[in-house]
Amino acid sequence: MPTYQTTGIVIGRTNFGEADRIIRFLTADHGKVSAVAKGVRRIKSRTAGHLELFGEASLTLATGRNLDVVTAARLSWYPHQLIAAYDRIGLAYAMAAAVDRLTEPGHPQPKLYALLSEALHAVDGGATGALVELWFKLRFLEVQGYRPDLTACVICGRHDQDAQYFFDAARGGIVCQNDSSSTSRPLSQPAIKLWRLLSDYPYVTVAQIADGPALATATLLSCDEFYEHHLGRSFKPGLVT
Ligand SMILES: [Zn+2]
């Protein structure tokens, strides 16, 4: 079988046969890759410790007829600080599950790979709560091609620093008071600014914003509505094994 080399982050694992496991990786150059790790559930397996969920590994994969096969794996990074932090593990699960569900195999995903890597480093480093969750969702939406329109009213184009704006998930952005409807939620000017920064900047940068956590807590629900409207799935910590 021909082989190829890549680097992947483990985003999901499913037991297969008696001692095997199908591992789903996100890679930059091949997108999502599913590959069989043979004998990985045996106690003496030499590769098991290199294929942990959320870990990043250098891989040699053999191209199979149906599924690729892991022929070598070497762990290069693992979020060790996450082990005892249940709130942050839940967030990491939700991030990996979102990437797993919404990524098709066979398309290069360099931006998504960079985002997931950055997000896992952030939660491993202690990031928790609404700010990092809102940041991940807005960045993830951006990578998937769904950026909320936050520059002017999406209906009339009104752009006014002092006006009261609302966020309308179904219309894809902010609307002015006149164009707001029963489904629009208020989005303050500071919150609009925060959302713009979150859509564009790395987490280490936005983590410095003093009122970021409070603004994120107040507006996370609006982002959730937008996320579900466009991606058709809610973002919930689900158990991934
Ligand atoms: Zn308007």
- Which pLDDT does position 100 carry in this prediction? 94
If you measure from the C-alpha of residue 222 to the centroid of ligand 1, how many angstroms do you get, rounded to a whole number?
A: 18
- The CATH architecture one would assign to domain 129-231 is Up-down Bundle (1.20)
Query: Please, what is the average pLDDT of the chain?
Result: 94
The Cα 227–Cα 114 span in angstroms is 20
Rg (CA), the chain: 20
pLDDT at position 127 is 95
Q: Domain 3-80 class?
A: mainly beta
What are the structural domain ranges in the chain?
Answer: 3-80, 129-231
Residue indicated by tokens 């990092």: 132
- Taking the centre of ligand 1 as the mean of its atom positions, its distance from the CA of residue 80, in whole angstroms, is 48
Residues 151-209: tens digit of each pLDDT? 999 999 999 888 999 999 999 999 999 999 999 999 999 999 999 999 999 999 999 99
Backbone angles phi, psi at 13, to 5 degrees: -145, 140
At 214, give phi and psi (nearest 5°).
-70, -45
Do the Cβ atoms of 25 and 10 come closer than 8 Å? yes
Beta strands in the chain (DSSP E): 3-16, 20-27, 31-37, 56-62, 68-77, 165-168, 173-176, 185-187
d(CA 126, CA 111): 23
CA 156 / ligand 1 centre spacing (Å): 4
Distance from the CA of 178 to the center of ligand 1, in angstroms?
6
Angle between helices 110-124 and 130-143 (to 10 degrees): 170
- The closest of 133, 126, 25 to 82, measured between CA atoms, is 126
Q: Which of 122, 132, 136, 103 lies closest to 28 in space, CA to CA?
A: 103
Query: Matching CATH topology for 3-80 and 129-231?
Result: no
Neighbour tally for 29: CB within 10 Å? 14
* Per-residue model confidence as pLDDT tens digits over 114-151: 999 999 999 999 999 999 999 999 999 999 999 999 99
Task: Kindly report, residue by residue over 91-120, the tens digit of the pLDDT.
Answer: 999 999 999 999 988 899 999 999 999 999
Compute the distance from residue 167 Cα to the ligand 1 centre, in Å: 11
